[in-house]
């Protein structure tokens, strides 16, 4: 259950570039495309409800007053299946779950223009709910795969690459959607484009994806041995999911609470930035998409810096894994909290400075990738997908609530003082959640991670290479 000793790092090395890196690249694309589909509506909805964004009068526009409700509808589906997704992946593997999930997600994305014409805003919300349900399989599946593919000494850097996918997807989605929506073709092709990218990813995943090194047909013996040797303490046969142990674990709750805070703050920024820039700063459609993406470009760049720095500190034994998670999580929440409060008090004409605050808020939030977000793999590699499903599924209730709070609080979208309330509330949630994480999180593998192995050892019979198994008061020991 202990991680490889620091003195063993020299012997626990594998190929510099290998199949594990291909897995990371494809998982990065999975989250990038998923987030591209998730956020393109945030930009497109401006064009869908404003006929001045294009000169083509054949492009339909709609008089929708419930834009924030439409934007939140994705999360109605997103919260429903994540625990189920984690458990299903844990039992049967995640490769084909991800394939089917991307197919459903991409198809629903392509159908949005048709459903908008046929049913109006309710048709769009229906597509978004289906997208949310299918994307609910993404993060639990990714966490499961990270637990099976990534050696502990590479965990922060590799996980950071994968979790940089959402930022890259937003960087791609916002300006591209803005450009397409402002063109003579109007907003509908933006949904067709991202749906097609999803179908393309499915083809790549068929050839490159695998549930574990043991199941990949093209991995070298050297790399497989390296991965399995470094993860030997966590790659035992899995038994029944230890639900009681998971739900009674304070470190697991620390992860869940941290994710609560993250989803409140991040969803407020992600879904409302285009509207904020448009209504408060008066930025046109094309610039809206490009400037909305700028904070996520900062997040994308910073994420690699934080990942490399985290692994460096841990592998050089400067800090423990748990301490590193707390340091980076604090950096990723407290700096954005301060930036958001500052943003709320800047004058409406401070366009450049406001954009700087948004860049800081979203960019520095990338430190959370090597804070709470990778923590399920630390705590229980065998059940990381389930823990991620519990945390991501339950915490995204706040991803529904946050845009709805904007809908009810910001009655006048051009009133800066109302937006100030939103930013202060998000900052308070960030800080409170991080405090709980700092107090109660852990970087150690939990004993119940190897529950199947422990169950085997408790069988009545038996001897092993070291001598007889002895049971004393229900506890297992081995004779020396």
What is the CATH classification number for the domain harbouring 330? Answer: 1.20.1250.20
- Any residues with CB less than 8 A from the CB of 391 and at least 6 apart, and which? 252, 255, 256, 259, 376
Band (pLDDT 50/70/90 cuts) for residue 361 is confident
Contact status, residue 44 vs residue 181, Cβ threshold 8 Å: yes
State how far Cα 119 lies from the chain centre: 31
Q: Percent of the chain having pLDDT more than 90?
A: 46
Average pLDDT score over residue span 101-129: 95
Task: Specify the DSSP element, H or E, that contains 422.
Answer: helix 416-440
Contact status, residue 264 vs residue 340, Cβ threshold 8 Å: no
Contact status, residue 421 vs residue 272, Cβ threshold 8 Å: no
227 has a pLDDT exceeding 60: yes
Average pLDDT score over residue span 378-389: 92
For residue 469, the cross-strand partners are 478
**Residue reference for tokens 């000793």:** 5
User: Both tokens of residue 358?
Assistant: 């948004």
pLDDT tens across 289-345, in order?
566 677 888 889 999 999 999 999 999 999 999 999 999 999 999 998 998 888 778
478 has a pLDDT exceeding 50: no
Q: Is residue 183 part of a domain?
A: yes
User: Both tokens of residue 476?
Assistant: 């297992």
Q: Render 185-216 in DSSP notation, one character per residue.
A: T-SHHHHHHHHHHHHHHHHHHHHH--SSGGG-
Q: Is residue 357 part of a domain?
A: yes
- Any residues with CB less than 8 A from the CB of 411 and at least 6 apart, and which? 418
415 has a pLDDT exceeding 90: no
Q: Which candidate, 213, 216, 210, 60, places its Cα nearest to that of 141?
A: 210
Q: What is the pLDDT of residue 367?
A: 94
Domain holding 59, by residue range, is 14-214+245-458
Q: Is residue 343 part of a domain?
A: yes
For residue 468, the cross-strand partners are 463
Q: What is the pLDDT of residue 14?
A: 67
- 12-26, 53-67, 106-120, 230-244: range with highest mean pLDDT: 106-120
- Which of 56-70, 78-92, 384-398 is least confident? 56-70
- Which of 89-93, 99-103, 270-274, 357-361 is least confident? 270-274
Q: Is residue 422 part of a domain?
A: yes
Average pLDDT score over residue span 444-448: 92
Q: Is residue 276 part of a domain?
A: yes
Q: Is residue 299 part of a domain?
A: yes
Q: Is residue 260 part of a domain?
A: yes
Kindly report the number of other CB atoms within 10 A of residue 367's CB atom.
Answer: 28
What's the half-sphere exposure (Cβ side, CA atoms, 13 Å) at 403? 25
Average pLDDT score over residue span 109-130: 95
pLDDT tens across 429-443, in order?
999 999 999 999 999
What's the half-sphere exposure (Cβ side, CA atoms, 13 Å) at 138? 30
Q: What is the pLDDT of residue 260?
A: 92
Q: Is residue 337 part of a domain?
A: yes
Q: Render 284-301 in DSSP notation, one character per residue.
A: -HHHHHHHHHHHHHHHHH
Helix %, strand %, coil % of the chain (to 5): 75, 0, 25
Contact status, residue 276 vs residue 419, Cβ threshold 8 Å: yes
Q: Render 7-46 in DSSP notation, one character per residue.
A: GGTTTS---SS-HHHHHHHHHHHHHHHHHHHHHHHHHHHH
Contact status, residue 393 vs residue 308, Cβ threshold 8 Å: no
Check residues 369 and 54 and name the one with the higher pLDDT.
Answer: 369
Q: What is the pLDDT of residue 454?
A: 53
Check residues 141 and 286 and name the one with the higher pLDDT.
Answer: 141
pTM: 0.80
Check residues 14 and 314 and name the one with the higher pLDDT.
Answer: 314
Which is it for the CA torsion 399, 419, 273, 371, positive or negative? negative
Contact status, residue 404 vs residue 69, Cβ threshold 8 Å: yes
Domain count along the chain: 1
- Which of 166-175, 237-246, 431-440 is least confident? 237-246
Phi, psi of 478 (to 5 degrees): -120, 140
User: What is the rounded average pLDDT for all residues in the chain?
Assistant: 84
Distance (Å, whole) CA 190 – CA 152:
39
219 has a pLDDT exceeding 80: yes
User: Both tokens of residue 39?
Assistant: 């956020």
């Amino acid at each position: 259950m202990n991680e490889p000793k620091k003195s063993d790092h020299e012997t626990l090395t594998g190929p510099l570039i290998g199949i594990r890196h291909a897995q990371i690249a494809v998982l990065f694309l999975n989250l990038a495309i998923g987030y591209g589909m998730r956020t393109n509506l945030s930009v497109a909805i401006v064009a869908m409800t404003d006929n001045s964004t294009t000169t083509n009068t054949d492009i339909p526009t709609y008089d929708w007053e419930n834009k924030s409700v439409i934007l939140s509808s994705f999360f109605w589906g997103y919260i429903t299946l994540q625990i189920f997704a984690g458990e299903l992946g844990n039992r049967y593997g995640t490769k084909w779950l991800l394939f089917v999930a991307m197919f459903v997600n991409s198809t629903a994305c392509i159908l949005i223009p048709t459903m908008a014409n046929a049913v109006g805003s309710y048709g769009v919300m229906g597509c978004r709910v289906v997208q949310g349900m299918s994307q609910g399989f993404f993060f639990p599946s990714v966490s499961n795969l990270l637990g099976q593919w990534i050696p502990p000494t590479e965990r922060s850097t590799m996980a950071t690459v994968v979790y940089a996918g959402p930022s890259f997807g937003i960087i791609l989605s916002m300006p591209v959607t803005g450009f397409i929506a402002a063109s003579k073709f109007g907003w509908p092709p933006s949904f067709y484009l991202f749906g097609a990218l999803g179908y393309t990813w499915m083809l790549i995943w068929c050839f490159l994806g695998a549930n574990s090194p043991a199941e990949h047909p093209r991995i070298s013996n050297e790399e497989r041995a390296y991965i399995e040797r470094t993860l030997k303490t966590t790659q035992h046969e899995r038994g029944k999911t230890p639900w009681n142990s998971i739900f009674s674990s304070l470190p697991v709750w620390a992860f869940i609470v941290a994710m609560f805070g993250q989803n409140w703050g991040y969803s407020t920024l992600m879904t409302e930035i285009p509207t904020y820039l448009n209504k408060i700063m008066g930025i046109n459609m094309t610039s809206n998409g490009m400037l909305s993406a700028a904070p996520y470009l900062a997040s994308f760049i910073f994420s690699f810096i934080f990942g490399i720095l985290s692994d460096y500190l841990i592998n050089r034994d400067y800090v423990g894994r748990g301490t590193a998670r707390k340091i980076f999580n604090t950096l990723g929440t407290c700096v954005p909290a301060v930036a958001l409060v500052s943003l709320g008090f800047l004058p409406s004409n401070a366009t450049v400075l406001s954009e700087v605050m948004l860049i800081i808020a979203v960019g520095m939030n990338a430190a959370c990738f090597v804070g709470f977000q990778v923590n399920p793999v630390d705590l229980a590699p065998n059940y990381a997908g389930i823990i991620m499903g519990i945390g991501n599924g339950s915490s995204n209730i706040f991803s529904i609530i946050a845009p709805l709070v904007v809908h009810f609080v910001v009655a006048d979208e051009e009133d800066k003082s109302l937006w100030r309330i939103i930013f202060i509330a998000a900052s308070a949630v960030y800080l409170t959640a991080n405090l709980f994480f700092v107090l109660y999180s852990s970087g150690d593998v939990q004993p119940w991670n190897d529950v199947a192995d422990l169950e085997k050892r408790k069988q009545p019979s038996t001897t092993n290479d070291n001598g007889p198994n002895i049971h004393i008061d229900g506890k297992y020991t081995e004779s020396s």
